[in-house]
Structure 1
Amino acid sequence: MVSPPITELTTRARDIFRLVVEGYLDNGQPVGSKALATSGMVDLSPASIRSVLSELEQLGLLAAPHTSAGRMPTEQGLRLFVDGIMQMAEPSPEERAVIEQQMREPGPIEQALEATSALLSNLSGAAGMVMVPQRESRIAQISLVPLDERRALVVLVGTDGHVENRVLDLPQGVSAGDLQQATNYVTARLAGRTLAEASRDMRAEIASGRTALDEAGRRLVEAGLAVWSEDAAARPVLIVRGQAKLLDESALTDIERVRSLIDDLENKQQVAQLLDSAREAESARIFIGAENRLFSLSGSSVIAAPYRNGEGKVVGVLGVIGPTRLNYARVVPMVDFTARSLGRRLG
């Protein structure tokens, strides 16, 4: 059923609909006609209110979970509310301060991304999600530092100041001289290029025998290329924090839905694809329940916003996921503000 435009609802139907949705989002419980009549916010008798509620139910905007219960919004009703009635509430000064303080914390970008995901979870009461940017930084320097006879530390320094450390298992018979030779060879071919670009050319050079490396040096470089390739492929595309917050009191009455949601979150590749669909959005996008195939069974909502680097290029998406009764008016601006703050952190 396609829900009607908000303009087609009468003023009293729109007012009652708004009160039902706001009440449900506030406490997760259906709202009844008696509660509306005694709230002092509706100048109608309980019988008149029940008549309006019945009309809204017939329009597919509200539903009654039990015969004697009040009404709660359907997914169609939530969409109509979000698009046509909801008034955004900007993050409070306290929330803005917490977000901005987190972004000022020093450390590598990966640490900032994990902290951002946890921050979103804490502020929203849902699970926080951050897509990891696909790094294609250019390499300024590489060093191979021996740790012992069988291992070396590989230090990659990017032109943007980003530093990555990886431990490499050394092939049999590699000496300190071989390490130095391999360092010089790789650095000469990496400088100013991405790891993917340099790796492709080094593999081709080694395969054709055009390199001056000896056998030990070639085996060392090939081992390093294998580690770097595997490391890049194994990097998480998504950081999720706060799954435990999905297990609130209301979840205990619908444990199958929560189990389905947590199972979905384990499939990070598909979750990342959903978030990726928000890349072109100017601000936060809202996916409610069955509007996204991945979370249709768990009946969950996703609020996602893209974040940009210092050049204004979208490099990732962040957001939250939780039950459809999320406080959209508060969480949507908070996700937007966090996305902008993370963008400033990336510079």
Structure 2
Amino acid sequence: MRLPPISELNDRARDVFRVVVQSYLDTGAPIGSRTIAHLSGLNLSPASIRNVMQDLEELGLLAAPHTSAGRMPTEIGLRLFVDGMMQALEPSLEERAAIERQLVQTGPVEEAIAATTAALSGLSACAGMVMVAKRELVLRQMSFVPLSADKALAVLVGEDGSIENRVIDLPAGLPLSALIEAGNYMSAMLGGLTLFEARAKIERELLAERAELDGAARALIERGLAIWSEDGERRPVLIVRGQARLIDDAAAADLERVRYLLDDLEGKQDIARLLDNASAGDATRIFIGAETKLFSLSGSSVIAKPFRGLDGRVVGVVGVIGPTRLNYARVVPMVDYTAATLARLMA
């Protein structure tokens, strides 16, 4: 159905429509003409309001649930409201401070990102989501721990205190001394370098035959660096926080929708693709209900905003997911502010 421009609605229709939408965003329930006449101050009779609501329903902006005589906005109606009528509310000083506090956290940057996402979740009463490219790890130490005759655990410690490990295959007959030699070389020669820089240095050293390593240790180092570099380029970091906030008193009446939503949140690859789509340009993207196939069954909305690094490239996307009745006017600026905060964190 075509989305009618807001200019096609007369003043009376806009006033009634705004009251219905605001009531739905506040309560999640339909509202009737008598309630609007009593509470809104529109100075219209219930009969006049019913006629206007009928016209809005014929335009596809309102719908009447079969269990109620009241009306509530459709997803098309919500889109019209968000694009043409919503007045954004800037985050309060307290809300800004709650987000800013996460910038001073010590430890790996992923922990600060997770804490910032959790803060956004708490302030918005939604689930918070952030996706960032896997940050280039600066090496401090690397070691190899034998697991069996043909496998070892490669343990990498970063300058930020983060620890990662991968199981790698070993050539047949590799001596334990090669594991020790490779780990010692990595720690002594490659500390303070990124994985990309470490690989380049190893290649130069081996090409010039300056690396005092036997063939087994060389192969082990090359294999370890290749695994980490390839893994980091292939997988972004996706963090979702606050799923429990999606199950509130209103959601309890629609447990099937909540079940669909929680199932959707388990599909992190699908969420990553959605956030990746939102990374184009600088604008905040708002996806309402069936506008995305991912959340069409759960009737949920996503608000997402990309953020950039010092070089101007998009380094991540932050957003929230919640019911279609979320407070867009309050949450959209909150997502914007969180994106600006994360941009400083990633600088």
TM-score (norm 1): 0.85
- Counterpart residue type for residue 263 of structure 2: D
Q: Deviations over 1:205-253 (max 9, x none)?
A: 98xx997532441354255346535863786631111111111122222
Secondary structure of the residue aligned to 1:56 is helix
The C-alpha deviation readout for 1:17-40, integer Å capped at 9, x for no partner, is: 001001100111111101111014
**Superposed displacement of residue 187, structure 1:** 6.7
Aligned partner of 2:185 in structure 1 is: 184
Q: Is the Cα contact below 8 Å between 1:288 and 1:300 reproduced in 2?
A: yes
| 3-state SS, counterpart of residue 256 of structure 1 | helix
Q: Following the alignment from structure 1 to structure 2, what is the Cα–Cα distance between the partners of residues 154 and 131?
A: 23
Q: Contact 2:144–2:183 (CA<8 Å) still a contact in 1?
A: no
The 1:93–1:156 alpha-carbon spacing in structure 2 relative to 1, beyond 3 Å, is closer
Counterpart residue number, 2:123: 123
User: 1:161-186 CA deviation, whole Å, 9 max, x = no partner?
Assistant: x55433577966323x8635554368
- Secondary structure of the equivalent of 2:44? coil
Which residue pairs with 2:71 in the alignment? 71
Equivalents in 1 of 2:5, 2:265: separation in Å?
A: 33
Structure 2: distance between partners of 1:299 and 1:23: 18
CA distance in structure 1 between the aligned counterparts of 2:44 and 2:65, rounded to whole angstroms:
24
| Residues 83-114 of structure 1: per-residue CA shift (max 9 Å, x gap) | 10000000011111111122222222100111
Quickly say closer, same or farther: Cα 1:263–1:196, change in 2 above 3 A: farther
Distance (Å, rounded) in 1 between the aligned partners of 2:6 and 2:167: 64
Separation of aligned partners in 1, 2:210 and 2:306: 45
Q: For residues 113 and 278 of structure 1, do their structure 2 counterparts lie closer, same or farther at Cα, with a shift above 3 Å needed? A: same
AA matched with 2:332? V
Q: Which amino acid aligns with 1:154?
A: L
Amino acid at match of 1:321: I
- C-alpha distance in 2 between matches for 1:107 and 1:142: 14
User: Post-superposition, which runs of at least 4 consecutive aligned residues in structure 1 deviate over 6 A?
Assistant: 146-152, 168-171, 203-206
Report the Cα distance in structure 2 between the residues aligned to 1:54 and 1:90, rounded to whole angstroms: 34
C-alpha spacing 1:224/1:124, structure 2 compared with 1 (3 Å) = same
> SS of the residue aligned with 1:294?
helix
Aligned to 1:20: 20
What RMSD, in angstroms, separates the aligned Cα atoms of the two structures? 3.3
Letter in 2 for 1:60: G
What's the CA shift string for 1:146-204, capped at 9, x where partnerless? 889987753344xxxx55433577966323x8635554368757976x52575589699
- What's the counterpart of residue 318 of structure 2? 318
Match of 1:253 in 2: 253
Consecutive unaligned residues in structure 2, runs of 5 or more: none
Contact 2:305 2:317 in 1 (8 A): yes
Indicate the larger mover: 57-66 or 231-240. 231-240
Structure 2 match to 1:155:
157
Aligned to 1:264: 264
Aligned partners of 2:134 and 2:104: how far apart in 1?
Answer: 22
Alignment of 1:270-309 (within 5 A): 270-309=270-309
Equivalent residues of 1:90, 1:333 under 8 A apart: yes
Aligned to 1:43: 43
Counterpart AA for 1:184? Y
Identical residues among aligned pairs (%): 55
Q: Which residue of 2 aligns with 1:94?
A: 94
Return closer, same or farther for 1:151/1:279 CA change in 2, 3 Å cut-off. closer
**Amino acid aligned to 2:163:** N
Instruction: Give the count of matched residue pairs.
Output: 338
- Counterpart amino acid of residue 39 in structure 1: L
Could you list the runs of 5+ residues in structure 1 that have no partner in the other structure? none
Give the Cα–Cα distance (whole angstroms) in 2 for the partners of residues 14 and 43 of structure 1: 14
Q: Is the CA contact 2:134–2:232 (under 8 Å) kept in the aligned structure 1?
A: no
Task: Provide the residue aligned with 2:61 in structure 1.
Answer: 61
* Equivalent in the alignment of 1:327: 327
Q: What residue in structure 1 maps to residue 8 of structure 2?
A: 8
TM-score by length of structure 2 reads 0.85
* Corresponding residue for residue 144 of structure 1: 142
Which has the higher mean CA deviation after the structures are superposed, 297-306 or 253-262? 253-262
1:324 CA displacement: 0.4
Contact 1:154–1:167 under 8 Å retained in 2: yes
Per the TM alignment, residue 128 of structure 1 is displaced from its structure 2 partner at its CA by 0.5
Q: How many Å apart are 1:338 and its aligned residue?
A: 0.7
Aligned residue type for 2:65: P
Q: What amino acid sits opposite 2:218 in the alignment?
A: R
Q: 1:329 Cα deviation (Å)? A: 0.2
